Every structure is written in structure tokens, then in C-alpha cells.
Amino acid sequence: MDRIPIWVFFILILHILPMANSEEEDKVKLALVRFMDKLAQGNAQKYFNWGWNLTSDPCIDKWFGVNCDKGFNYVRRITLEGLNLTGTLDASSICTARSLYSLSLKNNNLQGLLPEDIGKCKSLTHFYIKGNKFSGDLPDSLAGLGNLIRLDISDNDFSGELPNIHKISGLISFIAQNNNLSGEILAFDFSNLKQFNISNNNIWGQIPDVKGRFSADSFSGNPRLCGPPLLNVCPPPSPPPSPHKKTKKSPSENFVVYSGYVILGVILLLFFTFKVVQKYKTKKESLAVQKQKVAEYSSSDKPGGSSIEFKNATRIGSDYSVTSVESGMTASTLVVLTSPEFKALRFEDLLRAPAELLGRGKHGSLYKVILDSGVVLAVKRIKDWGMPKEDFQRRMHKIDQVKHPLVLPPVAFYCSQQEKLLVYEYQQNGSLFKVLHGSRNGLTFDWGSRLNVAASIAEALAYMHEELQEDGIAHGNIKSSNIIFDKKMDPCISEYGLMVVEIQDQSILSQTKSFKNRNLTSHAYSTFKVDIYAFGVILLELLTGKLVQNNGFDLANWVNSVVREEWTVEVFDKVLISEGANEERMLNLLQIALRCINPSPNDRPSMSEVAVMIITLKEEEERSITFEP
């Protein structure tokens, strides 16, 4: 059979793609017309002159109340306020427009329930239905709108308790006054909220600490609500009910009860005796096996060996250690790199040392290991990784040759076909992730400190990119948990080059033109453009203080949506705002972050360009402090 010429396929593709786009646009258009029909209670013809019909385009023909993006391709906002609409909200239809991020139906006469399908509008950041006649319970799916910023359901007839919308970490405005809502106040993070009002409902119980941000007007009209800022004093907690008077048991009943206690005690004693004997026996056998395996690993020329398994120790100094449990693998010696203080480190030292599991991630596990000498190490274990052993060894030696004071170097590594170990000096001051989102241990993490972290990491990452460009070795997994603070509290990049990112997108592969090994461009191990995107996300964490992903909340999408609405200041961490950080320089750093997370890899700046921009910002900040009166 003759082959079909390749140009035929190109012609087919050129015809199929517009058809697919056209089908999607028609689907959205039909859904919007159906949405209007329900809003107008079957009288959508009345609004035909607004353009809501199948013979026109919502963006190109500018339907009334519809706003699209600048390219006139996607519906972004729908605003239909004060139009005396008397129908119902068809959420399943409106959520078909997946690009919709703002929906306002304020001050109409819409009625019925707020449908469960509203949870399908995943891109929604602003939702206003104030001043209608909606009734019934609020749907649980409302809490699934993880990108929601502002929610106004006031002046309706909603009843029942609120769903778990307090878990929406990006929510800054919640207005729900003049309804029939009941239950206790949810555990909102009041330090995050700029607007909050639940007045004139049936809410009860004690008001939680509102951080002094809201007055009594936000809570009035709820007779059973108490505590500051209201004047209603909460009653003291009720004492526990007094126990009922026990009736005296007969001697025979007492004998049966006490006999039962005795029998139970004997059973427990026998059980614990059995467990102690079994534990002693297991420990004895484990020590014997461990000694045998240490002897096997001590001889690097001897075949046979095994892969390495870390067991999770509940405490340092326990009987758990680095042990080998899988047989049939060829043992490799521990390769100690150029750190002079670790020249004497041997694989047997890791085998004998107790290991504490610090965490598991998508790409491996991290352990804290204490050697007999008292030296504390961090050991990263990667198992079943696709990179060949020889490539991994070459990569580790290359990274060891490229030194930067703010890039934590590996001191040793172990490599077999099945798994790899990387050994680092343990840094006890924790990670940027913990400082931002966990316990700060009294550390003040102000604007100056955050800008310093951004500049330091940008400079170090730019240096590594430039030095390792020809070898195609990027970080591959840079994130706030991989930014570690050393003894001097300087930020350091850890785990550089450990992970590989398999890239299929040719637009990204085109950035890797200078690799020495041309095979990398067709099946890239890592890409510098991915590092730049990830660094942009770290900048967003520094600016907002928010988690990258949290209960459906996507930080990058959330920031983009706020910026689109021209409420840019609202993205910044309230701690930075309260300390009076320079808003202009925060905005400048935000613009750098947005350039880094550009959806198009080709439009992202290089890491060197990013470093120059941030260092310039840092110098401006330092000059402003120097010349302050």
C-alpha cells in the first residue's frame, strides 16, 4: 500500500483545529444563552437586543454585561446587576465558560436554591448575588471554589449553616448579612479578611478573636451571639452533670466483677511478656544481620550486596539505622567528594548510624543521620529513578566542580542501578518553607529579609545556570523547602541537579541549544526555563506569605486573577503591609515574579536577567534605609 504523503496530514490538522475550536465556542455560546433563558424565566427574547443569541458572538459582538479578554477569545466577566431578573441561576450552564472569573448578579429578583453545580466554576474569583430572593441551604460545593477572593451573598433568604468556606485561603471578603443563616461562626482567618459581615442572621455562640479588624456592626442582629466586639457577655460554661448515685452491689455481683478484672490482668501480663521476648529475639537477629551486611559492604570488590533501605526511627539513638533488605544488587562504594573534613567517611558509617525520617516527597525521602563521631548529616534517597548510573555519577562530579557559597554541595554519594543516595551536611535552621508557613522560632522575617533571600537565591541560581549551561544541568526541583538557612542564617540552595524534568514541549527544548550532548535536546533531563518558573513561584510565596497549593487554592492563578482585577495590593502579605514595607518595590518584585511564571517559556527572562533586576531592587532598598532621617 502506498504511503499517504505527510502534507495530507498537515492539511487535515489545519482543518481539524479550527473545527475543534469552533465546536468549543459554540458549546459555550449555547450554554450562555441557556443561562440567560433561566435568568429571564423563559423570556430571554426580551433581552435579544442585548446580543444574547446564537447568531452572534459574546466577545466579538459585545453582549450586554459580558467582558472578554483583550484577545476577544474568552469570556472573563459577566455583570448583570439591577435588571429585575426574576428567574433562577443555572450554574451548570454558566460554569461551562471555564475562563469566567467574575460573576455579579446583584440586586435582581432571582429565586430558588443556589445549585450544587456552582462548585464547577473553578476559575471563579469574584461571586456577587447580593439583593435577590435565593433561599435554602448554601451548597457544600461552595467551599470547593479554591480561587475565590470575594463572596457576597447578603440580602437573601439563605438558611442553614455555612459550608467550610473558611478553608478558602485566598478569601479576603465575605459578606452575608440579612439572611437566616444559623450555627456557630466558622474558624475564619480574620487577619486575612478585609471585609466581613454576618449581621442580622441567627448565628449563635462566642465570637472568635477577630484581631481587632471588625466592629460590632459586623455581628449585630444575632441575639444568641456573644463576646467582643459585642457587648453581650458570654455565659460561663455549664458545669458537668453530677454522677448518679451508685447502688450497692451484692457480694456475688462483686465477686464476678473482681474475677473478671483478675482474668483480664493475667491475659495482659502474658501478652506483654510475649511481646518483650519477641522484641528481644528480633533485635538480636537484626544485629546479627546488620553485622553481616556491614562486612559485605566493607569489601568494594566483593559482588553480591544489596540496595539501601532507610527505616523511620521514632527518635535519634534508637535501634533503627541504614540497613540493607533487598538482595541480588551489586554493591557500590560511597564516593566522597572534595570536602576535606569528610575524607574518612565510609559507607559502613551510614549503615551503622541511626536514621530519622524527616519527610517523604514525590521524588524521594530525606533522613537525618548521626554518625558515631557526632557529625550530623542529611541523606537524600532516590529510588527507581530513570537516569543511568553513569550519567548520575558524571552529573554529581560536575556539580562538585562548580562551587557557589550559597549552593549546598553534596559531600558524598552512593549510586547503584536501582537507587541513589546524596549526603549533605545537616542544616539545623530549617527551610524557607518553614519560616514562611510554619514556626519562625522568633525570627523576624520582614521585607528586607525577604528581599535579601530573593536576591541571594537569584544570584546563586544564575551562577549555576551559567556554569552548567553547556551540560544542561538545571536544579530541576527548586521550591521553598529546598531553600535552607545555614549557620549564619544565609539562604542556601539544596539538592541542586538531583531531579530531572522530562520535557516534551519543543518550545522549551528549543532553549537548550548549547548542550554538549545533543541527545539531551530530544529527551531533556532538565530545563532552565522550568527553574525560572519555579523561582517565580518562590517570589510569590515571599510576597504573599501563602502556600503554593492548599485545598484547591493555586497561588499563581490567584495572583494573576487579583492583578487582572487591578487590586494588586491585595496580594501582599498582611505582615509586610502592617510593617510599612515599600509598596513600589514590592510591586516591582511582583512584576518580576509574573515575568518568571509567564505561561510561554520563550517569554520568560533568563536567570541572569532576573538576578540583575532583583539585586537592583535590593540596592535601592539599602540606599533608602541609609538615607532615612
Where is the binding site for ATP, in residues? 380
Kindly tell me the burial class for residue 93, based on how many C-beta atoms sit within 10 Å of its own C-beta (0-12, 13-18, 19 or more).
buried
Q: Which candidate, 434, 498, 557, places its Cα nearest to that of 98? A: 557
* Residue 371 CB neighbour total at 10 angstroms: 16
Query: Which residues, in sequence order, are CB contacts of 429 under 8 Å at separation 6+?
Result: 484, 485, 486, 487, 489
Euclidean distance between CA atoms 228 and 286, whole angstroms: 61
Measure the CA dihedral 290/291/296/300, to 10°. Answer: 100
Residues contributing to the annotated binding site: 380
**Residue ranges with strand state E in 273-397:** 306-310, 322-327, 335-336, 355-360, 365-370, 376-383
Helix pair angle (607-626, 528-544), 10° resolution = 30
Q: Are 137 and 115 in contact (CB under 8 A)?
A: no
Q: Which candidate, 152, 104, 142, 149, places its Cα nearest to that of 120? A: 142
Q: Are 179 and 199 in contact (CB under 8 A)?
A: no
Q: Are 497 and 408 in contact (CB under 8 A)?
A: no
Element (H, E) at 463: helix 447-467
Scan for cell 456573644, then name that residue: 226
**Residue ranges with strand state E in 116-248:** 126-128, 133-137, 150-152, 157-160, 173-175, 180-184, 195-197, 202-206, 225-226
DSSP 9-54: HHHHHHHHHHHHHHHHHHHHHHHHHHHHHHHTTT-GGGGGGGT-ST
For residue 303, the one-letter residue type is P
Please say whether the dihedral angle defined by the alpha carbons of residues 186, 189, 191 and 194, taken in this order, is positive or negative.
Answer: negative
Measure the CA dihedral 389/395/396/400, to 10°. Answer: 160
Query: Which residues, in sequence order, are CB contacts of 561 under 8 Å at separation 6+?
Result: 101, 123, 125, 147, 149
Please give the distance of CA 192 from its chain centroid, rounded to a whole number.
Answer: 18
Euclidean distance between CA atoms 446 and 542, whole angstroms: 10
